[in-house]
């Protein structure tokens, strides 16, 4: 305890004291609420909604005690679970827009129902963010019973589907059985399929951080208001908040489209890099996870490729070759199969380093994923162009109120406060924690450590004590399993390769004599109950007599929070238990960050491989290593955020303009007038009309607007008039505007007013999307180039901001110019009847082609849409055909 804390007191304790008074107010309402019938309980929701004063600075505060009391009663009647006082405290903290640190097993899922219900009374969006689809679906089904009893609707979005809670959707499983098992096995009851828009329209929406983020990006690529699914960013509760807002914040969400095919180069370099040797040809920095090629390596590569200078753009491939070589080296040297990724169904699938789960659909950027595909001999996908992107930091900071819950937030409290302005409050446990956390055991070699782990597990298993073994990768997970198999120890294995059974495996990990080997335990969502699940009192007592759950860590993780999450699996709700980490000096954390000194000491003392040592020096070295890595990752996330802040301001302007276009609030006629005025002002900047280049003005206007035959002579006549330059300039503009209005009216009469509005909207959206996509690529290149300016004593970030602003102003001007140029060139053609010829669509000779003179959009308005939706083409993909997002 610091001197500051001793003098002023623990600030967390002061927060908890404040919460206790509100908890008493909630508890005092319980007798009154218990006397209500189910119908009266449901009607209370409407009564509370009528009491909300939208003009009040905190319109929901006065309703909190009653709202929380109602949720507690609804939970008792539907789930048979009564919120503990500690859970009420957690709910208050969440409602205040803070992070509730609640230990594993304290019931965070149930706690969240309290602020979720209260904030949903406002009628604005309430999002509950989970770490995977399984938990989003499970929690919506499980907690949806509470919301339904109180008259609120709940929805759930998943990777490829969406559902609404519907009490009439039931199967043969009884409510009691599902609630008893903790709902780890999701059945089809209560899950009514719906559209994503319907799921977002519900009072409460569950989903993953990825799905919420991608839906935001997709909404801002939509070509009509009807295609947009989200309805605002009012309040969000993020489960496993440290995992989502910190661990995953280094990688932005990106929607991309395939670009040119460069797969052969990746295959070529993947075949070459095994011929290079570490040391003479390239250097590896394991701390920074980077690879740099040496001059000798470049020379060897040039000989293999048969080129004189790889940096020669024309003869040697230039920067592109060097970039692909570096990615091939990274894929070969710093990325390991079954640790960083797995190969499944012919695809390279990323493994989340913090949760151990597969991340289907996510790809490494900048060609790294293609390099991994080439390395593993699977099909190399095309490189892609970014259509839209956002970081989790900037997505979640859009919410009016953000809250989070986790078992391990205090070690990251500083970052959560600095980036998200989120205060962490540690909520006391419902029952005293009696788990024993033993000191680390350190071994000289990995093999000696594994032998000691096997002996420890065998000893505890013989006594019937359940053992949970935590590993940091799939590879280590399988190594441990092999040692246990050889020792004849029956066990279950849980990793990304068999995640479908994770709920059932974790639920039974507390049975008498159970041994479970699992990758990182963050966000599993299922408690380990002593005796197994469903609970058995006699079985649970046997386990308690054996010492409770023993948690064994096979190595330290880079982040202390992940170690704490593993420990937290034991000792839930006052249960007995113990935890201990078995560490080897060959483990990555120790090897990279200073284990050599300790290893030398152990060899000098001739300590056997399987004999552990424990000392303050070693514990300090481990904590120091973890601190260094956490600091490095924080710097990385801060770096990403600093640069994305620049893009985020630009993104908000572009997305707001898109929304205005979709609402038809931007008139292309005004844009035509602005463009003509800008062009004429530019060419009449010289003061005297005699100096104006009328021919240049005529050519520029003619390029934009179909002008009448006498237009040229009319311009000349104006220029020859006597008068003030400003008056003559206005007359030139009026002449051009008259021609433009006439051409515009003719096109509108030909197309029809309604169709003309559709075309205008399409042109503006398509133009904005294309130049924004190109701008993102330009900004990415700029970000790479400004790094070198540090050598010239210039701050790269300042340079990036300055030049980024200039580029963005140019983008806005370019948008107007391109939209105006296109509107007079576009034509609509009715598409010929589609007929199948040998399994290939045939639209008739010349169909779909455009002449050099005009850009054409082929739209068969009343044809069935090709996407199979059953809708007419004009109501479905017609206006989005140019931007297809997978």
**3-state SS of 592-646?**
HCCCHHHHHHHHHCCCCCCCCECCHHHHHHHHHHHHHHHHHHHHHHHHHHHHHHH
Residue with tokens 């089809």: 188
CB-based contacts of 827-833 (< 8 A; 24+ apart in sequence):
827/854, 827/855, 827/856, 827/857, 828/751, 828/755, 828/759, 828/856, 828/857, 828/859, 829/856, 829/857, 829/858, 829/859, 830/859, 830/860, 830/861, 831/858, 831/859, 831/860, 831/863, 832/860
- 50: CB partners within 8 A, 6+ apart: none
Architecture of domain 10-251+395-426: 3-Layer(aba) Sandwich (3.40)
**Which strands make up the sheet holding 401-406, listed edge to edge?**
191-193, 162-165, 154-157, 204-208, 126-130, 235-239, 401-406, 99-101, 424-426
Domains 10-251+395-426 and 436-614 equal at CATH topology level: yes
Residue-wise pLDDT for 356-376, tens only, equals: 777 776 777 667 888 899 999
Greatest pairwise CA separation for the chain in angstroms = 109
Q: Which residue has the tokens 């190109």?
A: 774
Q: What's the token pair of residue 434?
A: 């009696």
- Region for 317 from its dihedrals, namely left if φ exceeds 0, alpha if ψ lies in -120 to 50, beta otherwise: left
Residues 813-835 have a mean pLDDT of: 71
CA pair distance 468, 450, nearest whole angstrom = 15
Q: Of the segments 302-306, 439-443, 545-549, 555-559, which one has the largest average pLDDT value?
A: 545-549
pLDDT of 686-700, one tens digit each? 767 777 888 888 888
Q: Which residue has the higher pLDDT, 592 or 763?
A: 763
* Least confident piece of the model among 265-274, 508-517, 592-601: 592-601
Query: What does the pLDDT read at residue 370?
Result: 87
CA distance from start to end of the chain: 53
Residue, of 234 and 191, whose pLDDT is higher: 234
Structure token pair of residue 362 = 């996510």
Give the containing element (helix H, strand E) for 436.
strand 436-437
Percent of the chain, pLDDT > 90? 33
Q: What is the pLDDT of residues 459-475, one digit of tens each?
A: 999 999 999 999 888 88
> Looking at residue 652, what is its pLDDT?
93
C-alpha span between 332 and 273 (Å, rounded)? 8
- Is the pLDDT reported for residue 253 higher than 50? yes
Q: What pLDDT is attached to residue 636?
A: 77
| CA 290 centroid distance within chain | 24
* Exposure b/e, 705-740, CB count within 10 A at least 16 = b: bebeeebbebbeebbeeeeeeeebbebbbebbbebb
Helices (H), 273-410: 295-305, 318-333, 368-376, 392-396
* Count of helix runs (H) and strand runs (E) in the chain: 32, 26
Element (H, E) at 467: strand 467-470
**pLDDT number for residue 849:** 31
Q: Give the mean pLDDT of the chain.
A: 81
Query: Where is 749: in which H helix or E strand?
Result: helix 725-751
E-only strand ranges, 90-142: 99-101, 126-130
H-helix segments, 402-536: 413-420, 446-462, 474-486, 502-507
The span from the CA of 302 to the CA of 322, in Å, is 11
β 99-101/126-130 pair status: unpaired
Q: With contact defined as beta carbons under 8 Å apart, do 246 and 416 qualify?
A: yes
CA–CA distance, 289 with 587 (Å, rounded to integer): 16
Q: How many residues does the chain have?
A: 886
What is the predicted pLDDT for the residue at 9? 65
- Measured between alpha carbons, how far is 268 from 317 in angstroms, rounded to an integer? 13
In this prediction, residue 52 carries a pLDDT of 92
Q: Structural domain boundaries of the chain?
A: 10-251+395-426, 263-379, 436-614, 668-815, 826-886
Quote the CATH superfamily of domain 668-815.
Answer: Helical scaffold and wing domains of SecA (1.10.3060.10)
Q: State whether residue 457 is helix, strand or coil.
A: helix
- Return the number of other C-beta atoms located less than 10 Å from residue 328's C-beta: 29
CB atoms closer than 10 angstroms to residue 263: 16
**pLDDT per residue as tens digits for the range 115-154:** 999 999 999 999 999 988 888 998 999 999 999 999 999 9
**In this model, does residue 25 exceed pLDDT 70?**
yes
Domain spanning 263-379 has what CATH number? 3.90.1440.10
Which residues on adjacent β-strands are paired with residue 443?
584
> What does the buried/exposed string (b/e) look like for 412-433 if buried means 16 or more CB atoms within 10 Å of the residue's CB?
bbebbeebbebbbbbbbbbeeb
pLDDT tens digits along 36-89? 999 999 999 999 999 998 888 888 999 999 999 999 999 999 999 999 999 999
105: tokens are: 């097993």
pLDDT (tens digit, 9 = 90+) per residue, 718-738? 888 888 888 888 898 899 999
Closest CA to 518 of 531, 530, 504: 504
Q: CB burial class (10 A; 0-12, 13-18, 19+) of residue 198?
A: middle
pLDDT > 70 in the chain, percent: 81
Identify the pLDDT of residue 312.
Answer: 59
State whether the Cα torsion 347-348-354-359 is positive or negative: negative
Measured between alpha carbons, how far is 165 from 194 in angstroms, rounded to an integer? 10
By C-alpha distance, which of 602, 623, 600 is closest to 612? Answer: 602
The two structure tokens encoding residue 840: 């290939």
CATH topology of domain 436-614: Rossmann fold (3.40.50)
- Residue 870 region, left (φ>0) first, then alpha (ψ -120 to 50), else beta? left
Confidence grade of residue 524 (pLDDT, cut at 50, 70, 90)? low
In degrees, rounded to 5, the angle at the alpha carbon of residue 430 between the alpha carbons of residues 425 and 435 is 95
d(CA 766, CA 774): 12
Phi (first) and psi of residue 152, to 5 degrees = -105, 155
Non-local CB neighbours of 768 within 8 Å, separated by 6+ positions: 654, 657, 658, 661, 815, 819
| pLDDT tops 60 at residue 673 | yes
Q: Which of 855, 857, 759, 769 is nearest to 815 (CA)?
A: 769
CA distance 242 to 245: 5
What pLDDT, in 10s, does the model give residues 837-877? 333 333 333 333 333 333 233 334 444 444 444 455 444 44
Nearest to 622 by CA among 633, 632, 630: 630
CB 308 within 8 A of CB 315: yes
Distance separating alpha carbons of residues 256 and 884, to the nearest angstrom = 10
Burial of 843 (0-12, 13-18, 19+ CB in 10 A): middle
Residue located via tokens 């359940």 = 466
Mean pLDDT within 535-561: 88
Q: Give the residue, 639 or 733, on which the prediction is more confident.
A: 733
Q: In angstroms, rounded to a whole number, what is the distance separating the alpha carbons of residues 69 and 25?
A: 9
Nearest C-alpha neighbor of 367 from the set 267, 294, 252, 281: 267
Q: Answer whether residue 399 shows pLDDT above 90.
A: yes
The 10s digit of each residue's pLDDT in 311-363 is 555 555 555 676 677 788 888 888 888 888 989 888 898 887 766 777 776 77
Banded pLDDT at 885 (limits 50, 70, 90): very low
**What does residue 615 show for φ and ψ, rounded to 5 degrees?**
-155, 160
Question: In whole angstroms, what is the distance from residue 237 CA to residue 239 CA?
Answer: 6
Give the model's confidence band at 525: pLDDT under 50 very low, under 70 low, under 90 confident, else very high: low
pLDDT at residue 646 above 60? yes
Q: At what angle do helices 85-95 and 108-120 cross, to 10 degrees?
A: 50
Among 617, 630, 639, CA closest to 589: 630
């Amino acid at each position: 305890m610091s001197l500051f804390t001793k003098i002023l007191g623990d600030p967390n304790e002061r927060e908890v004291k404040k919460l206790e008074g509100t908890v008493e107010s909630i508890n005092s309402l319980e007798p009154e609420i218990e006397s209500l019938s189910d119908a009266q309980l449901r009607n209370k929701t409407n009564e509370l909604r009528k009491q909300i004063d939208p003009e009040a600075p905190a319109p929901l505060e006065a309703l909190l005690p009653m709202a929380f009391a109602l949720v507690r009663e609804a939970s008792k009647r539907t789930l048979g679970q009564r919120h503990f006082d500690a859970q009420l405290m957690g709910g208050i903290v969440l409602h205040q827009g803070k992070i509730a640190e609640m230990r594993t097993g304290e019931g965070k899922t149930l706690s969240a129902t309290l602020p979720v219900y209260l904030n949903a009374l406002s009628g604005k969006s309430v999002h509950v963010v989970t770490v995977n689809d399984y938990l989003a679906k499970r929690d919506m089904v499980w907690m949806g019973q509470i919301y339904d009893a109180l008259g609120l609707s709940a929805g759930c979005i998943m990777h490829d589907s969406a559902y609404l809670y519907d009490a009439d959707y039931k199967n043969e499983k009884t409510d009691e059985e599902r609630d008893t098992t903790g709902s780890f096995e999701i059945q089809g009851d209560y899950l009514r399929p719906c559209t994503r828009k319907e799921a977002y329209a519900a009072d409460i929406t569950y989903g993953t951080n990825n799905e919420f983020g991608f839906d935001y990006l997709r909404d801002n690529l939509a070509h009509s208001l009807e295609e947009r699914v989200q309805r605002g960013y009012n309040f969000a509760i993020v489960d496993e908040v440290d995992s989502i807002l910190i661990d995953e914040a280094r990688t932005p969400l990106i929607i991309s489209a395939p670009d040119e095919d460069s797969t052969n180069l990746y295959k070529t370099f993947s075949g070459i890099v095994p011929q290079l040797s570490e040391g003479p040809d390239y250097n590896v920095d394991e701390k920074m996870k980077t690879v740099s090629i040496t001059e000798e390596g470049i020379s060897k590569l040039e000989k293999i490729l048969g080129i004189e200078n790889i940096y020669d753009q024309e003869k040697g491939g230039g920067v592109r070759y060097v970039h692909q070589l570096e990615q091939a080296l990274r894929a070969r040297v710093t990325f390991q199969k079954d640790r960083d990724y797995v190969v499944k169904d012919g695809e390279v699938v990323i493994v989340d380093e913090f949760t151990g789960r597969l991340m289907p659909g996510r790809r490494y950027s900048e060609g790294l994923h293609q390099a991994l595909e080439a390395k593993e001999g699977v099909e190399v996908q095309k490189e892609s162009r970014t259509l839209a992107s956002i970081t989790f930091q900037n997505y979640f900071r859009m919410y009016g109120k953000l809250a989070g819950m986790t078992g391990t937030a205090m070690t990251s409290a500083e970052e959560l406060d600095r980036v998200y302005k989120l205060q962490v409050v540690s909520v006391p446990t419902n029952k005293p924690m009696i788990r024993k956390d033993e000191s680390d055991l350190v071994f000289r070699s990995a093999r000696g450590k594994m032998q000691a782990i096997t002996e420890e597990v065998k000893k505890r298993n013989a006594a019937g004590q359940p053992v949970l073994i935590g590993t940091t990768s799939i590879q280590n997970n399988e190594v441990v399993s092999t040692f246990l198999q050889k020792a004849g120890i029956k066990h279950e294995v849980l990793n990304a390769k068999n995640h479908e059974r994770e709920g059932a495996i974790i639920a039974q990990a507390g049975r008498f004599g159970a041994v479970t080997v699992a990758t990182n335990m963050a966000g599993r969502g299922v408690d380990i109950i002593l005796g197994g699940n469903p609970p058995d009192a006699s079985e649970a007592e046997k386990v308690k007599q054996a010492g409770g759950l023993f948690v064994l860590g096979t190595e330290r993780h880079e982040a202390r929070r992940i170690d704490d999450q593993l420990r937290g699996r034991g000792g839930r709700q006052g249960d007995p238990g113990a935890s201990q980490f078995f560490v080897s000096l060959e483990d990555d954390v120790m090897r990279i960050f200073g284990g050599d000194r300790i290893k030398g000491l152990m060899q000098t003392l001739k300590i056997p491989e399987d004999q552990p040592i424990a000392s303050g020096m070693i514990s300090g070295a481990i904590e120091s290593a973890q601190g260094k890595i956490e600091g490095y990752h924080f710097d990385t996330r801060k770096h990403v955020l600093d640069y994305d802040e620049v893009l985020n301001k630009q993104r908000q302007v572009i997305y707001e303009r898109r929304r205005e276009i979709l609402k038809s609030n931007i008139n292309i006629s005004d844009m035509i007038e602005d463009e003509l005025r800008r062009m004429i002002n530019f060419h009449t900047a010289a003061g005297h009309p005699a100096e104006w280049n009328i021919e240049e003005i005529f050519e520029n206007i003619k390029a934009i607007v179909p002008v009448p035959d006498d237009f040229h002579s009319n311009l000349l006549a104006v220029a020859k008039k006597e008068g003030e330059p400003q008056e003559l300039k206005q007359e030139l503009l009026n002449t051009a505007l008259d021609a433009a209005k006439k051409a515009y009216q003719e096109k509108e009469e030909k197309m029809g007013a309604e169709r003309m509005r559709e075309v205008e909207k399409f042109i503006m959206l398509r133009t904005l999307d294309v130049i924004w996509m190109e701008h993102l690529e330009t900004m990415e290149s700029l970000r790479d180039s400004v790094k070198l300016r540090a050598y010239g004593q210039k701050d790269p970030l300042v340079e990036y901001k300055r030049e980024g602003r200039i580029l963005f102003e140019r983008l806005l001007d370019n948008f107007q110019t391109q939209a105006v140029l296109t509107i007079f060139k576009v034509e609509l053609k009715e598409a010929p009847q589609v007929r199948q010829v040998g399994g290939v669509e045939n639209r008739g000779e010349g169909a779909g082609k455009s002449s050099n003179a005009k850009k054409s959009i082929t739209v068969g308005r009343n044809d069935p849409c090709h996407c199979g939706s059953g809708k007419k083409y004009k109501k479905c993909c017609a206006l989005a055909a140019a931007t297809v997002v997978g």
